[in-house]
Amino acid sequence: MDSIAKSYKSPAKINLFLHVLNKRADGYHNLQTWFQFVGLADELEFRQNNYGVVNISSDIEIGSLEDNLIYKAIRAFEKQYQLTNVGIDVTIRKNIPMGAGLGGGSSNAAVALMAMRDFYKPELKNEDMLELGKSLGADVPIFLYGKSAWAEGIGEKLTTKLYKEQYALLVKPNIHISTAEFFTSPVLEKHTTLISKDSSLNMATMINDFEAVFFARYPEFSEELSQIGLDFRMTGTGSCFFALSEDRALLEKVARKMDNSLDKWVVKTLNYAC
């Protein structure tokens, strides 16, 4: 098979806020959050092959094939639409840090579904794949949705809600707490009051409930951020933090002054996925 390669940008997201409302009967938690995209993206290339196998190569170590969300997305699409002999070669250029709360793996899975659609079922629209995306992970649907959105449920009930586009300073310490640890921490408040999607919110009032867990474990990082003079928030379950400003030069100046051991990016915030 002489296949044309299809290339895609796989964007990152931030959670402008993230509240944990309660635990559900199925073991998941009801959440409220507000997603916005940022101008940091992985680059993925897909090409059909004759061998009926899925191959994934990357410029970083990505672990076992069967645990990879791109692989799971391809196989889920294959099963959902009763395809046979699916062979895909995937090449990833990774720019979104892993384990940062920026949604890189979920974004890659959503893009894999789009690529499969483009190869095999071009009549489908992104919204037709939202349930399939949800089966792969709670953050996958927002990348199929493609617009800044208010989210409820486990994060899959989406309503378009745009936020001011500006710039974000992303800061990632070399720290990782697993999502399971976050949810089982006695520090986590799991009964945040439900708020309306029409609420008037700004960075002073938007809180990530998981920050308390992170800062209880790493108070020195809280102190370091507080000395910078910007209002930082954690995205997802971390460990990446962001501060927003319309002044890109200011954020770049702050980034240069911060500890060199921290990974840092200054990027545009976006209401529509790249």
Amino acid at 236: G
Active site residue 13: yes
Within 10 angstroms of residue 159's Cβ, the number of other Cβ atoms is: 11
User: Which DSSP state fits 100?
Assistant: S
What's the CA gap between 108 and 88, in Å, rounded? 15
Catalytic entry in 42, 72, 139, 161: 139
Q: Tokens 């990530």 sit at which residue?
A: 208
DSSP string, 40-92: EEEEEEEEE-SSS-EEEEESS----GGG-HHHHHHHHHHHHTT--S--EEEEE
Judge contact between 241 and 207, C-beta under 8 A.
no
What's the CA gap between 93 and 79, in Å, rounded? 27
Catalytic entry in 13, 72, 134, 161: 13
Identify the CA nearest to 203 among candidates 164, 250, 237. Answer: 164
- The contacts of residue 131 (CB under 8 Å, 6+ apart) are none
What's the CA gap between 220 and 216, in Å, rounded? 9
Active site residue 139: yes
Angle formed at CA 235 by CA 233 and CA 237, multiple of 5 degrees = 120
Tokens matching residue 262 = 């921290």
Catalytic site positions: 13, 139
